[in-house]
């Protein structure tokens, strides 16, 4: 084995050892990123919108919205940030649903 392979193997073993310690609940110094999931249904209801209207206004697939609200799925980091922005600054506060920027149709392949 060359030096780079040995270094990679050593890093891999160290990483796996740290991961196992973390899984056991031991303090490892590893950083943990916690994503706060917004209360999707509460945001939608506060805006007085049906699922269909909310999904349409904010360009979220209806099936995705239903999954979030029913707890079958959870918004990822980007979607959580988007929902937080909607909660703080809904389109209705900037002039109604027309304030939502329409998306252009997809480009042909």
Asked if the model's pLDDT at residue 5 lies above 90, the reply is no
Phi, psi of 24 (to 5 degrees): -80, -5
Q: Note the pTM of the prediction, 2 decimals.
A: 0.56
Residue 19 belongs to a domain:
no
Asked if the model's pLDDT at residue 19 lies above 70, the reply is yes
More confident residue, 90 or 48: 48
Domain that holds residue 64: 40-99
Instruction: Identify the pLDDT of residue 98.
Output: 41
Residue 8 belongs to a domain:
no
Into how many domains does the chain fold?
1
CA distances from 7 to 14, 16, 100 (A): 11, 14, 51
The separation between the first and the last C-alpha atoms of the chain, rounded to the nearest angstrom, is: 46
pLDDT tens track for 49-106: 999 999 998 999 999 999 999 999 999 989 999 999 999 887 655 444 444 445 556 6
Asked if the model's pLDDT at residue 28 lies above 80, the reply is yes
Instruction: Identify the pLDDT of residue 1.
Output: 60
Q: What is the 3-state secondary structure (H, E, C) of 40-106?
A: HHHHHHHCCCCHHHHHHHCCCCHHHHHHHHCCCCCCCHHHHHHHHHHHHCCHHHHCCHHHCCCCCCC
More confident residue, 37 or 9: 9
């Amino acid at each position: 084995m060359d030096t780079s392979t040995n270094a990679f193997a050593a890093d891999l073993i160290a990483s796996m050892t740290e991961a196992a310690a973390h899984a056991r609940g031991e303090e490892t110094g590893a950083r943990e990123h916690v994503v706060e999931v917004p209360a999707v249904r509460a945001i939608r209801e506060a805006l007085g919108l049906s699922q269909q209207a909310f999904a349409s206004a904010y360009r979220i697939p209806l099936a995705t919205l239903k999954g979030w609200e029913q707890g079958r799925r959870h918004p990822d980091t980007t979607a959580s940030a988007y929902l937080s922005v909607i909660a703080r600054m809904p389109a209705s506060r900037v002039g109604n649903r027309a304030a939502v920027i329409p998306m252009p149709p997809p480009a042909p392949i």
